[in-house]
Structures are given as structure tokens and as C-alpha cells.
Amino acid sequence: MTSNIYDITKYGERKNIEFKENLKKDFHLKKDRIQRLASQMKYRMEKGDGEAIYFIGVDDDGNLVGLLDAGMDESLFVLEKVAREIDAQILKTQYQKAGKGIVAKVLISKNNSHHKKHLLVGVAGHVDHGKSTLVGTLTTGSLDNGSGRTRIFLDVQKHEIERGLSADLSFAVYGFRGGNPVRIKNPLHKKEKSKVVEQCEKVVSFVDTVGHEPWLRTTIRGIVGQKLNYGLLTIAADQGPTHITKEHLGIMLAMELPIMVVITKIDMVSDERIREVKNRVFELLKLVGKIPFMIKVPEDAAFVANKMDQHLVPVIKVSPVTGEGLDLLDKLFYQLEVPSDVHDGKKPFMMYIDKIYSIMGVGTVVSGTVRQGTVKKGDKLLLGPTSSGKFIPINVRSIEMHYYKKDSAETGEVVGISISGAEVGHIKRGMIISDLLYKPQPVREFEADVAILVHPTTIREGYECITHIETISETTVFQPLDKEYLSAGDTGKIRMRFKYRPYAIREGQKLIFREGKSKGVGEISKIIQ
């Protein structure tokens, strides 16, 4: 045989390998027999860290016998039935000619589709404080060269790579299988990301935001517009906390995210400087009502993971150059629970659109984080509202998560959804796609309870600024309701009106508004329409 992928000798004494000459429905699917086969498969998978390899058409001595098509189909049918007995699945099947028939190599893995955990982490921090480098190193396991080499894995635009500055949101992923981190060898290869999603029981997706001040709106979009589980704030040891650090921390706090802090670039400074920055970080966190906790050993990660929503903020010292602290981050991400809102999962599907693409051979694709419910391939949805307030009927053609094709997507997953029924030019960021049962309504006016954080003068009727709600970023016109005007430090009720077009929003959603250095936060209290 040429190019023999079934050269049995190369597998040596690997204990997750099993040979089967053939499997018969009438014999092997009998109750006692299928139980024996299931126990055998479970053993093989335990020895293979959750994976087993079966050779069909091979006798017990490793000789390639081969099966005709009908025999092979029957054997694979039986093998699939056995796999289901232990909640496993056939991931991949390869065929090769042998004798007068064919031999199959079958990869079997645990079925993680029903209990896969997906953690979504937003990463923020001042420009050049090592956000992208940290994420690039963490997801690949490749140490940085001190000049941001691993950052290139995330900077997606030509000018971003040339300048070394991120200008848009980037997404990265790694995962855990059997408690061990699974990293991406080639992060620029789509199949690598797909494999992580497919094979890991826990997937960690990072939303890498922008640290440069002129792109603050993009950072806000990354933190406000995604259904984040946690926020990660980077602070470089050579600079320490800056005004942008405080700004990004404030945005995360406004979204009520559990927060972790990573002190980066510790290889560039002295131990004394690290202690100084650590003390400044602790003071900053205490100032906003948080309790800092320095993670020093893996056991600390398990302790702090269960208490992050109780004002505890883990602080970790990390160097992507030396690798110091990366194992502690791995331990923390593995220990962190994925917050599950069963109620959200049972609601009708809805997703805010973050990005819009036109892909050759695929068509129109919209991406974002599923806010609630579940969407399936073939579903009929609504898209909108348009500038006139209408919702357009569309169909779901396909779904992908980090290039892994899925039949469905659930609450909290970052996905790209190929749709038919709408052209790219008719879709805007901030629109939604939703199930018909969601009954979306176009909204132009609403009321919000707000707090003014920074403003040099006063906010009166007719004041205009940019308001961020989910992935919406739109000019709104203010009208204070219970006071003539609001100034820095004030709270109050405001009527707000989208200036240019309606959006689909609901009571209880949080918002951030800004104009120059003026900033405030709030929550939608009443829909007026």
C-alpha cells in the first residue's frame, strides 16, 4: 500500500488503539455485547486523554483485511451506536484500500456538545501595556521577543501590524481538555481555531480591545457590545496605572463585570518597581470598592475564582517574554466558572450585530455575541430595524464559531452567521437579528437613569453626545426630566432620543455616553418609542 496511513507498526504500544475486523448489527448490538464494547471504548478513551482510534477492517494481529462497502457501512453504524452509549462521537473517518476492500481509521472523542463551557473575556488597558502581546502569547504558548512578536497574531489590518497599534477589536481563542491548556500552534490558520472549539470541553474567547485614546469608542464597543463574562485589565510595570487605565476600569465597572488585573512587562523593571506598581494598583482597586488579591501560586487561582463576583479582584504578575505568571493565568481561566443564565437561554433568540462581511462563496455574514436564546441552521429570523423602522425577514444559512461550523449557537457564544434575504449595504452595526417570537420594536426615544462622571459645564436640554448601548454607537439628544441641568457628580432621569435612526432596545440595558472628555453611565428605565 502506498502512503500507508494505516501502518500499524508506527502506533507501537499506544493504549488508545483498537482493531476491529468487522462489526455486525445482529451480534454486536445485543445488550450484553454492546455493553462490553462500550466498556472497552471507554477504557481506550481514558488511555487516550478523551480520544480513541479504531481501525475497522484490521484483525487482532494488525493485518489489513479490508471490507467491502456494505460491510464497512454496517461496522461504522455499530461503532457509532457504541460511542453513543458512553456519550462519545465519531469526529473523523479516513479510508484506504486494502486487499479487495477498504480499511477505515476512525477517531472517536468525548461528546462535548452538550456541556462545552465558553468563557468570554474582554481585555483592556492603555496603549503599549501589552494587551495583544499577552493574549497572543497565552493562546499560542510562544514567548514574545520583547518587541511584540506575538502581537501580530491579533493585529488584523496592515496598518495595525506596521504601527504596532490595534485599531479594531480582535478575537483570539484557546481552551482546556482534561484540565490541560490546548493552544494554537499557528493562530493565523483557521483550522487551528476550529480544532480548539471542536475538541476542548472549555473554550476561552478573548475580545482584545484598543488602548489608543482616539479609538476609545472601539474599546467601549468591545466591553459594552459583547456579552462578556469577565474583564481583564493590563497595566505595564514600567508605566503603572494611567488615566486610560482608570477609564477602562470605569467602563468595566459600569458594566458590572468581575475584573482581573495583569501587571505586564515585569521582565523590564526591578523588583522594587514591581512592588511600587503593585501598591498603586491595590490603592486604585480599593478606591473603587474592590478587594485586590495577589495570585502567587496555583492554589490561589482556585480560591479567588469563586469569589470574583464578591468584589475580589485577582492581580497577577506576568511576563510574555520569560513566561512568568502564564501558568497562573491558565489556572485561573480553568477554574473560572462560566456564568449560566438559564432564563436567558430559554428566551427567544436575539443577537446584536457587531460586524458585517461579504464572503465569496458564502454571501452575507453578520457576527456578534448571542445575547439570549438559541439559533439553528435554517431558522427564519428578523433583521432590523432599518432607518424607517422596518424588520426584514431573513434565513440562517450557516453558523461558525472561530471557523468551526456549528448546527446551532447558544447564549454567550461569539459567532458568525451567514444569512440570506439581506444585502451587506443594508445592514448596519447596532441592528439585531432575532427570532420572530422576540417581537422586536423600533425605538427612537427612551428614558434612562444616569450618573454624570465627568463634565466641564452643565448638561441641559438639547445636549448631544454619542451613546453606546450593546453594539449601538449613535448620537443622542438629551432632555433632563427631574432637574433643569446635570453636572459632574449628579444623578438624574433623562429623556434621550436617537438623532438619526431607531434601534431595538429594551428596559434594563446599560449605557455609556461620551462627548470629548464628558462621560456618564446609566440604565434604560422606560421605552417611549
Digit-coded pLDDT (tens) for 144-163: 776 655 555 554 443 333 33
Is the pLDDT confidence value at 517 over 70? Answer: no
pLDDT band at 5 (very low <50, low <70, confident <90, very high): very low
pLDDT at 154: 52
Question: What's 354's domain CATH number?
Answer: 2.40.30.10
pLDDT at 150: 55
pLDDT band at 164 (very low <50, low <70, confident <90, very high): very low
Is the pLDDT confidence value at 58 over 70? Answer: yes
Q: Which of 184-198, 276-290, 297-311 has the lowest mean pLDDT?
A: 184-198
CA–CA separation, 315 vs 332, rounded Å?
11
**Mean pLDDT of the 68-72 span:** 91
Same domain, 258 and 173: yes
Same domain, 363 and 227: no
Of 455, 446, 460, 464, the closest CA to residue 510 belongs to 446
Is the pLDDT confidence value at 449 over 90? Answer: yes
- The kind and range of the H/E element at 433 are strand 432-435
By percentage, how much of the chain surpasses pLDDT 90? 54
* Structural domain contains residue 2: no
Same domain, 406 and 488: no
Is the pLDDT confidence value at 13 over 60? Answer: no
pLDDT at 169: 62
Are 135 and 124 contacting, i.e. CB atoms less than 8 angstroms apart? no
pLDDT at 343: 66
Query: What contacts 184, CB < 8 A, 6 or more positions away?
Result: 139, 140, 173, 174, 192, 193, 196
pLDDT at 463: 93
Q: Average pLDDT, whole number, for the chain?
A: 86
Print the domain residue range for 81.
8-110
Residue after which a domain boundary falls, among 300, 335, 370 = 335
Same domain, 149 and 236: yes
pLDDT band at 76 (very low <50, low <70, confident <90, very high): very high
Are 303 and 325 contacting, i.e. CB atoms less than 8 angstroms apart? no
pTM of the model: 0.72
pLDDT at 3: 40
DSSP 29: T
* Structural domain contains residue 318: yes
User: Given its phi and psi angles, is residue 373 left (phi above 0), alpha (psi -120 to 50 degrees) or beta?
Assistant: left
pLDDT at 160: 35
CA–CA separation, 200 vs 402, rounded Å?
13
pLDDT tens, 244-299? 899 889 888 888 899 999 999 999 999 999 999 999 999 999 999 999 999 999 88
pLDDT at 214: 47
Same domain, 200 and 322: yes
Same domain, 226 and 317: yes
Is the pLDDT confidence value at 355 over 70? Answer: yes
Question: What's 28's domain CATH number?
Answer: 3.30.110
- Alpha helix ranges (H) inside 104-171: 131-140, 158-163
pLDDT at 201: 85
Same domain, 163 and 282: yes
Of 213, 225, 127, 123, the closest CA to residue 173 belongs to 123
Is the pLDDT confidence value at 308 over 50? Answer: yes
pLDDT tens, 403-443? 888 888 999 898 999 999 998 999 999 999 999 999 999 99
- The kind and range of the H/E element at 368 are strand 363-372
* Structural domain contains residue 1: no
Same domain, 247 and 374: no
Q: What residues are paired with 263 via a beta bridge? A: 235, 317
pLDDT at 508: 95
pLDDT at 245: 92
Same domain, 150 and 282: yes
Is the pLDDT confidence value at 20 over 70? Answer: yes
What Å distances lie between residue 113 and 117, 225, 270, 370, CA to CA? 9, 26, 47, 17
* Structural domain contains residue 269: yes
pLDDT at 187: 66
pLDDT at 161: 33
Report the domain count for the chain: 4
pLDDT at 387: 94
Is the pLDDT confidence value at 114 over 60? Answer: no
Query: What contacts 375, CB < 8 A, 6 or more positions away?
Result: 349, 351, 381, 396, 399, 408, 409, 417, 435
* The Cα angle at residue 83 between residues 400 and 87, in degrees rounded to 5: 65
Residue of 171 and 136 predicted with greater confidence: 136
pLDDT at 1: 36
* Structural domain contains residue 324: yes
Residue after which a domain boundary falls, among 388, 408, 438 = 438
Is the pLDDT confidence value at 14 over 80? Answer: no
Same domain, 99 and 241: no
pLDDT at 46: 81
**Mean pLDDT of the 358-384 span:** 92
pLDDT at 334: 92
Residue after which a domain boundary falls, among 438, 456, 475 = 438
* Structural domain contains residue 501: yes
* Structural domain contains residue 3: no
CA–CA separation, 400 vs 93, rounded Å?
22
* Structural domain contains residue 520: yes
pLDDT at 283: 97
Question: What's 234's domain CATH number?
Answer: 3.40.50.300
Same domain, 451 and 393: no
- φ, ψ of residue 337 to 5 degrees: the values are -85, 145
By percentage, how much of the chain surpasses pLDDT 70? 88
Same domain, 457 and 434: no
Please give the grid coordinates belonging to residue 418: 451567514
Please give the grid coordinates belonging to residue 117: 463551557
pLDDT at 153: 52
pLDDT at 115: 53
